Chains A and B, each alone.
Chain A
Amino acid sequence: MLKASLQSRRSVLCNSAVGFGNLAFLHLLQKNCRAQDGAPTTSGAVEPSGPLAPKPTHLEARAKRVIFLFMKGGPSHVDTFDPKPLLDRDHGKPLPFDLPRVTFAKQGNLLRSPWQFKRYGQSGLPVSELFPNVARHVDDLCMLRSVHGTNPAHGGALLKLHTGSDQFVRPSLGSWLTYGLGTENENLPAFVTICPTLAHGGVNNWGAAFLPAHCQGTPIGNASLNARSVGVKHIRNQRIDPRNQRRQLDLIRSMNQEHLDTVGANDALEGRLNSFELAYRMQASMPELQDLTRETSATQRMYGIDDPVTEDFGRQCLMARRFLENGVRFVQVTHSDSEVQWDQHGNLYAGHTKNAGEVDKPIAGLLQDLKSRGLLEDTLVIWGGEFGRTPTAQGNNGRDHNPHGFTMWMAGGGVKGGYAYGATDDYGYYAAENKMHVHDLHATILHLMGLDHQRLTYRYAGRDFRLTDVAGQVADDILA
């Protein structure tokens, strides 16, 4: 049913030249022409459907949309999804091999996990008692146990994970997907990020950088705000009643139409004429999508919205699902509270207990809900933080940042379920088998979405840029 409605919506949109994003797509063409130095292409060739229209993929797409469940601060893999029995055995002993040349903080001896692991499902994959609800879906999860990045500080690692670069401002993953795929619903942003963190890269983590403006993620609130009350900036007008605003838009339309008649055909001016209508519709559609009271109470309970502990993240997840099923291409939700996040240099036990308690049920609810709606098969769910944590201790109840090997997981969207890919060493410090660099992760996500990371390029300042820079390898083993 969803597919059918998307189809019809798409065909409607193909006939209209406007979208949430860049309405003056002629400008986009001009921009490309500029980039291609002396030989501009004819700027008269305007695609009828604009830059946000769905585009053909390079490959057969296994997933149509992505939800990234981002755990800000760096959840510990050895306490969640990557059990290390040798940590129990060698607790208190020094790491039997060298530490990295650069570490974020001073490292102590090995620290065992305070949590027990149990095997779940048919696959028998182990999950710690921090995630009992997610564990029930383990047969849908594809554990990536050998992810590694390059930067041991939050800012660098967030930027690396979201944009592929911890040195320059570069387009974010969601922006690249928007650029490559367009959107299924031009009345909505193609890329939404709910309650993102403003620290550690902030906007850059959902920014379009040099990609066209319509590829930019649309933030809904930020991490310091309650998901109950967040919205897109300027989406509401408390000062002018809708009837008068409608009148006003009619006035603006007739003024602009007359102006256009004077100036003559002009894509930017025409695009702008339509942008007011679209904005007016968005004023209604965005709050409607965010309105969770339209969901049954059973659904709300499934996401833990009835429990203050899980309410906030549950709202984010449910809102995300509503965006996804209405054609938003990429939704990120962020778990990042105001104080502790997942950054347990100390107080590992209480911090991780609290954090996992807040996300476990909502995530399980999301997986369940996506599955029962038939959405999971073409929705790629990604879970993870900017890095993992060290198996060595900081103090007696904490762990340092560890970008050298950690776990993320995927579900749905064409990945093997109940499958563990790659491994860290015996203690969980370094990725060791089937290592998956962040660039590889990006290459794999693009691949699942039908894009070849080596062909998804954008020319800017005399260079063709890629999300994966000059690296990236698709992890074929995880493809279902």
Chain B
Amino acid sequence: MSDHVPISPPGCGRRPASFPVTGTGRWSIQQSFLLRCCLLVSRCLLVCLALRVPVLLAAEDVVLTGSEQQEAASPAQLEFFEKQVRPVLVEHCYECHGERSDGGLHVNSRESLLRGGDSGPALVPGDPDSSLFVEAIRYENLDFQMPPQGRLPQAQIKVLEKWVEMGAPDPRDDTTRTGLPVGMSIEEGREFWSFRPVANSPVPDLGTHAFVKNPIDAFILHRLIEQGLQPAPPAQPRTLVRRLYMNLIGVPPTAEQVDAYLSDASPRSTQRLVDQLLHSPAYGERWGRHWLDVARYADSNGLDENLAFGNAWRYRDYVINAFNADRPFNRFLIEQLAGDLLPDATAETKIATGFLVLGAKVLAEPDREKLTMDTIDEQIDATGKAFMGMSLGCVRCHDHKFDPIKQRDYYALAAIFKSTKTFGDTNTGAIKHWHEYSLESVDDMDEFKLIDAEIARLKKEASDWKNSAITKLRAAANDKATEYLMACTKLSVTDSLVRISEVAGQYDLHPRILHHCRRHLEFNQQHEVFKPWHQLQQGVSDPDQNADAVEKFYRPLFAAASGGQVVSEPSAQDAKIKSIVLPDAKQVAAALKDHSGFLTIPPKPEFAFDDETLAEYNRRMEAARIYESNARDVPAAMGVSDNTVLTRLPIHIRGSHLNLGEGVAREFPTVMRSSEVRPVFPRHQSGRLEFANWMASTRHPLTARVYVNRVWRWHFGEGLVRTTENFGVLGDRPSHPELLDWLTRWFMESGWSTKNLNRLILASSTYRMSALHPQKSIASKIDPGNRSLWRFRIQRMEPEQIRDSILSISGRLDAVMAGKTVPLRNRQFVFNHTSVDHTRYDSLRRAVYLPVIRNNLYTMFEQFDFPDPTMPTGNRSETVVAPQALLLMNSDLVIDSADVLAQSLLNLSVSDASRVEMAYQRVLGRPPTGREARRAVDFVSQVVSGAKVNAAAVDEKGARRGWLLFCQSLFASNEFMYQR
């Protein structure tokens, strides 16, 4: 480019070696109040003071000192400021540091500059080299550059440097407010409902009331009466039995099970049924799945590099077993956070620590320290949300803007997690591996070494085969180098591959190589070897003549370069050829050898190889993939262990690991501590066990409350606190605070037993209410959201319930429990760069065993509000979107199941009316009304007669089609999909 204006590279001068590049050269912008509580990691790397620790000076001191130091500025100095300095500040700085104070910094007065921002004072009057302000505008430090959009002109930088050097004379008044709004103080926080100790709520005394079966009902009824509401009547037994089955084991009762319950006249029949369901192994499959939502369980990493978590299933099975065994929740918590550190640690308790490893990580993050801190953040966030209903992740960059959680609290916890080992020592290329516990002795490792070697061999075999095929292609192309150049004379550079293929056919050439060759000639018109090709054709329009000339010129050259016999020099008879400068023989040889030259082999095998070669290559690749997918894994479990113990960790200013502040010791969040006495952490352990024990204590204000609220949510479809993961200031307030505390206390007294809590809730009239209310219109006016629970909430089935119920009803459900189900070897790519989708969800086992592939969930899960498996979720959504209907109308799962059900109805020699009755019983748990039965029979016969041709065989097919469509309709109906 002739008029190219050189641009100075940023940071080409002095740069301390320790400075990072990950930043964007901008102080964070904080516009809205709410957004101030955002985690800003990538952009937090901007303000780096790694070499200037500590920086936390008392702001008032700085202000005072600075104010006092300013001597009266001379008129000349002030003129300099007004003419030279102020315009630059206004133009380049005020947008973010004027009214706003991005990064905590205002620049609209001398005082505010002296006070500085999050990284400390911006100005040292008289000393430009020590002033952060000057460092930033000099643009020499890649991570500390202002203004962010680009370097100021050199003259303006000089002006500002000079201004600082003269002591920063500045007539402006300090009108800026100091300090940002902060969240609650610790003292205020202790008065906030969720941080107060669990109260001993008295049960409301309502005298004898038919509704009050246990204290839950007393609390609920008390509130209803206050609001002038009546509870709904008890649900019909037929409705209740279905509700209990769906709620506790996730599949509906069979017609026989319904009958058995209905015919049991004992007053204890419901309690018996509850006990029976709680003892069913399917209870753990259903309730364990609830916890897996909270634990953001998945069988692959997702996020940036989707590697299979080939051993995550052990954690899944651990959770299912824990629920079936009714593991006390406090023990369950301790195992998941510190099972490796328990005095009685076992393989099982180590597997439990998988909770801390299951998060999605940026496994290919090249900045190892960032990865470590990001991972700790994910662990703290998941732990906070899952067990304490707190979003602690907010506190990485600054004190919580709403909740009484301070940045010190965060780094005190982070010190514990930094002393914990989450990553292993191996990697796949740039992709780091997470930590796992080997569950087998080293003797057995030989077998796995052999497996690894075999996988490597198969992969190499495939790539060797590909390389040898390419070598053959290359040799063939080189043999025909002259023909390629000849063929090119018949092509324009814009010709389509269709045309190119015709010409390639004439010369027996590879069309894609020819395509590239023609473009190469275009791109290399001045190249010594290819210039003649263009010259030869100048002024000649006959392609055959041109091809001839090209042949005469190049064939001898190529022959000579390939070491072949030189037939003759380029023909001397042709005047034109004579006039062209012969390229250097070495250059010709180099062009022929150049793998990226005019005879480049297409880089994509589909384009390079013929069908047969391609098929063979794909076969070999596929063989390697299949072998790897099915190869046995080293028996191992995802889990954490202790790392080098850090007893203190510096606060990371703005969350940046490159901007370290004061160190803080390991500690629990202050507001949740029930004692003023500081905990003592062991010197040689991370402190996770102490942390877990503290959380599992009956004195912790949140742990039991949060869990009890979850259990309530899993029974009623809505929590007493609807924001199950947020018990903070921005979260919901409990609808029945006294009930929540009473239940929490009861739960702890009963030994933190989930099943006891289930029993208590299930025995209440509150749970057994109907979803229909005789005075619905009045009640909806008083309490439209049903917060006071005047009726049972209608709930859409979760995708696991939908799928398992459809399979169960049609008799297809495979009840096998436990074991590895993700069809990939540990750490195998779910998706590599090819995007070929090998995931399959055609297993007929319970949905809890279907692989949870992050970034590629099973469509039914995805459509029916399965939670994002990267975020702890206690409260699933219930959306209605059209693709759900498509899935029910068109997916194989539903059609196949309807078909099996239809066939089983047809196999019975009964009337169509009886078939309809059986279908209703099996799918909806009730007999059809007469109208429904007639409509169904009519529907089937319509479909059948529509399909009728003549032959009996067709009729049979038509009948099956008709019943299939009818059964599918039942599966798609609202009555089936919505529990009441």
- Complex-state Cα separation, A307 to B498, whole angstroms: 6
Question: Contacting B34 at CB < 8 Å: which of A271, A432, A463?
Answer: A463
Q: Do residues A166 and B304 form an inter-chain contact, with CB atoms below 8 A?
A: yes
What are 15 A-B interface contacts by the 8 Å CB criterion?
A: A103-B366, A148-B24, A155-B304, A168-B870, A169-B870, A200-B305, A244-B965, A251-B965, A272-B974, A279-B886, A282-B886, A308-B496, A350-B516, A454-B32, A470-B31
* Known contacts A155-B304, A204-B303, A264-B776; is-contact A275 B880 (Cβ 8 Å): yes
Determine the chain B residues whose CB is within 8 A of the CB of A276 once the complex forms: 885, 889, 972
- Complex-state Cα separation, A204 to B306, whole angstroms: 12
Determine the chain A residues whose CB is within 8 A of the CB of B936 once the complex forms: 251
Question: Contacting B40 at CB < 8 Å: which of A197, A432, A470?
Answer: A470
- Complex-state Cα separation, A155 to B834, whole angstroms: 14
Q: Do residues B430 and A104 form an inter-chain contact, with CB atoms below 8 A?
A: yes
Determine the chain B residues whose CB is within 8 A of the CB of A239 once the complex forms: 895
State whether the Cβ of B261 lies closer than 8 Å to any Cβ in chain A: no
Q: Do residues B35 and A457 form an inter-chain contact, with CB atoms below 8 A?
A: yes
| Chain B contact surface mostly | loop
Chain B residue nearest to A148 (CB atoms) is: B24
Question: Contacting A437 at CB < 8 Å: which of B12, B26, B391, B879?
Answer: B26
Determine the chain B residues whose CB is within 8 A of the CB of A343 once the complex forms: 833
Determine the chain B residues whose CB is within 8 A of the CB of A34 once the complex forms: 722-723, 732, 875
Q: In angstroms, how far is the closest chain B Cβ from the Cβ of A319?
A: 18
Q: Do residues A199 and B943 form an inter-chain contact, with CB atoms below 8 A?
A: no
Q: Do residues B596 and A115 form an inter-chain contact, with CB atoms below 8 A?
A: no
Determine the chain B residues whose CB is within 8 A of the CB of A30 once the complex forms: 785
Determine the chain A residues whose CB is within 8 A of the CB of B377 once the complex forms: 167
Q: In angstroms, how far is the closest chain A Cβ from the Cβ of B233?
A: 15
State whether the Cβ of B784 lies closer than 8 Å to any Cβ in chain A: yes
State whether the Cβ of B28 lies closer than 8 Å to any Cβ in chain A: yes
Beyond A22-B879, A85-B1, A248-B965, 10 additional contacts (C-beta under 8 Å) are A102-B366, A153-B366, A168-B39, A204-B303, A234-B887, A258-B932, A276-B889, A339-B606, A348-B596, A439-B24
State whether the Cβ of B810 lies closer than 8 Å to any Cβ in chain A: no
Chain A residue nearest to B34 (CB atoms) is: A464
Chain B residue nearest to A307 (CB atoms) is: B496
**Which residue, of A276, A424, A429, has the highest number of chain B Cβ atoms within 10 A?**
A276
Determine the chain B residues whose CB is within 8 A of the CB of A271 once the complex forms: 880
Q: Do residues B24 and A150 form an inter-chain contact, with CB atoms below 8 A?
A: yes
Determine the chain B residues whose CB is within 8 A of the CB of A160 once the complex forms: 42
Stretch with Cβ within 8 A of B (4 or more), from A37-45, A56-64, A408-416: A37-45
Q: Do residues A234 and B723 form an inter-chain contact, with CB atoms below 8 A?
A: no
B613-649 vs A, CB cutoff 8 Å, 1 = contact: the mask equals 0000000000000000000000000000000000000
Question: Contacting A259 at CB < 8 Å: which of B603, B832, B973?
Answer: B973
Q: In angstroms, how far is the closest chain B Cβ from the Cβ of A113?
A: 11
Q: Do residues B785 and A462 form an inter-chain contact, with CB atoms below 8 A?
A: no
Q: Do residues B149 and A24 form an inter-chain contact, with CB atoms below 8 A?
A: no
* Known contacts A275-B881, A457-B34, A470-B36; is-contact A243 B946 (Cβ 8 Å): yes
Determine the chain B residues whose CB is within 8 A of the CB of A204 once the complex forms: 302-303, 855
Chain A residue nearest to B931 (CB atoms) is: A258
Q: In angstroms, how far is the closest chain B Cβ from the Cβ of A302?
A: 13
**Which residue, of B12, B25, B366, B733, has the highest number of chain A Cβ atoms within 10 A?**
B366
- Complex-state Cα separation, A408 to B875, whole angstroms: 40
State whether the Cβ of A297 lies closer than 8 Å to any Cβ in chain B: no
4 closest residue pairs by CB, A with B: A155-B304, A425-B9, A202-B855, A100-B21
Q: In angstroms, how far is the closest chain B Cβ from the Cβ of A282?
A: 6
Chain B residue nearest to A310 (CB atoms) is: B496
* Known contacts A150-B42, A222-B835; is-contact A201 B304 (Cβ 8 Å): yes
Question: Contacting B883 at CB < 8 Å: which of A153, A279, A473?
Answer: A279
Q: In angstroms, how far is the closest chain A Cβ from the Cβ of B828?
A: 13
Q: In angstroms, how far is the closest chain B Cβ from the Cβ of A105?
A: 8
Chain B residue nearest to A248 (CB atoms) is: B965
Determine the chain B residues whose CB is within 8 A of the CB of A256 once the complex forms: 973-975
Question: Contacting A100 at CB < 8 Å: which of B25, B142, B880, B972?
Answer: B142
Question: Contacting B731 at CB < 8 Å: which of A101, A222, A462?
Answer: A462
A263-285 vs B, CB cutoff 8 Å, 1 = contact: the mask equals 11010110111011011101100
User: Which residues B901-955 have CB closer than 8 A to chain A?
Assistant: 932, 935-936, 939, 942-943, 946
* Known contacts A222-B837, A433-B7; is-contact A255 B969 (Cβ 8 Å): yes
Q: Do residues A156 and B304 form an inter-chain contact, with CB atoms below 8 A?
A: yes
Determine the chain B residues whose CB is within 8 A of the CB of A307 once the complex forms: 496-498
B704-731 vs A, CB cutoff 8 Å, 1 = contact: the mask equals 0000000000000000001101101111
Q: Do residues B21 and A234 form an inter-chain contact, with CB atoms below 8 A?
A: no
Q: Do residues A85 and B4 form an inter-chain contact, with CB atoms below 8 A?
A: yes
Question: Contacting B523 at CB < 8 Å: which of A85, A115, A262?
Answer: A115
Chain B residue nearest to A164 (CB atoms) is: B42
Q: In angstroms, how far is the closest chain B Cβ from the Cβ of A367?
A: 17
- Complex-state Cα separation, A363 to B668, whole angstroms: 57
Q: Do residues A234 and B362 form an inter-chain contact, with CB atoms below 8 A?
A: no
Q: Do residues A203 and B878 form an inter-chain contact, with CB atoms below 8 A?
A: no
Q: Do residues A198 and B856 form an inter-chain contact, with CB atoms below 8 A?
A: yes
Stretch with Cβ within 8 A of B (4 or more), from A209-217, A321-329, A377-385: A209-217
Q: Do residues A20 and B882 form an inter-chain contact, with CB atoms below 8 A?
A: yes
Determine the chain A residues whose CB is within 8 A of the CB of B570 once the complex forms: none
State whether the Cβ of B41 lies closer than 8 Å to any Cβ in chain A: yes
Q: In angstroms, how far is the closest chain B Cβ from the Cβ of A346?
A: 9
* Interface residues in A, total, Cβ within 8 A: 160
Chain B residue nearest to A250 (CB atoms) is: B939
Determine the chain B residues whose CB is within 8 A of the CB of A338 once the complex forms: 604, 606, 833-836
Q: Do residues B605 and A339 form an inter-chain contact, with CB atoms below 8 A?
A: yes
User: Which residues A166-189 have CB closer than 8 A to chain B?
Assistant: 166-169
Determine the chain B residues whose CB is within 8 A of the CB of A23 once the complex forms: 880-882
- Complex-state Cα separation, A86 to B12, whole angstroms: 16
Question: Contacting B497 at CB < 8 Å: which of A199, A202, A308?
Answer: A308
Question: Contacting B733 at CB < 8 Å: which of A37, A202, A209, A218?
Answer: A37
- Complex-state Cα separation, A198 to B363, whole angstroms: 16
Q: Do residues B974 and A233 form an inter-chain contact, with CB atoms below 8 A?
A: no
Q: Do residues B9 and A471 form an inter-chain contact, with CB atoms below 8 A?
A: no
Determine the chain B residues whose CB is within 8 A of the CB of A251 once the complex forms: 935-936, 939, 965-966, 969
Q: In angstroms, how far is the closest chain A Cβ from the Cβ of B183?
A: 11
State whether the Cβ of A299 lies closer than 8 Å to any Cβ in chain B: no
Q: Do residues A167 and B42 form an inter-chain contact, with CB atoms below 8 A?
A: yes
State whether the Cβ of A116 lies closer than 8 Å to any Cβ in chain B: yes
**Which residue, of B24, B377, B939, B970, has the highest number of chain A Cβ atoms within 10 A?**
B24
State whether the Cβ of B877 lies closer than 8 Å to any Cβ in chain A: yes
Q: In angstroms, how far is the closest chain A Cβ from the Cβ of B736?
A: 13
B4-43 vs A, CB cutoff 8 Å, 1 = contact: the mask equals 1011111110010011111111101111101111111111
- Complex-state Cα separation, A155 to B854, whole angstroms: 14
Q: In angstroms, how far is the closest chain A Cβ from the Cβ of B652?
A: 14
State whether the Cβ of A3 lies closer than 8 Å to any Cβ in chain B: no
- Complex-state Cα separation, A218 to B882, whole angstroms: 12
Question: Contacting A350 at CB < 8 Å: which of B600, B883, B972?
Answer: B600
- Complex-state Cα separation, A350 to B602, whole angstroms: 7
Q: In angstroms, how far is the closest chain A Cβ from the Cβ of B947?
A: 8
Q: In angstroms, how far is the closest chain B Cβ from the Cβ of A224?
A: 4
State whether the Cβ of A91 lies closer than 8 Å to any Cβ in chain B: no
Q: Do residues A197 and B365 form an inter-chain contact, with CB atoms below 8 A?
A: no
* Known contacts A152-B366, A283-B886; is-contact A306 B498 (Cβ 8 Å): yes
Question: Contacting B978 at CB < 8 Å: which of A85, A269, A357, A404?
Answer: A269
- Complex-state Cα separation, A222 to B726, whole angstroms: 37
User: Which residues B366-413 have CB closer than 8 A to chain A?
Assistant: 366-367, 374, 377, 385, 391, 394, 402-403
Q: Do residues B870 and A102 form an inter-chain contact, with CB atoms below 8 A?
A: no
Question: Contacting B837 at CB < 8 Å: which of A198, A210, A280, A472?
Answer: A198
Determine the chain A residues whose CB is within 8 A of the CB of B306 once the complex forms: 199, 202
Q: Do residues B835 and A336 form an inter-chain contact, with CB atoms below 8 A?
A: yes
Q: Do residues B975 and A259 form an inter-chain contact, with CB atoms below 8 A?
A: yes
State whether the Cβ of B968 lies closer than 8 Å to any Cβ in chain A: yes
**Which residue, of B8, B522, B732, B733, has the highest number of chain A Cβ atoms within 10 A?**
B732
- Complex-state Cα separation, A323 to B896, whole angstroms: 33
- Complex-state Cα separation, A437 to B29, whole angstroms: 13
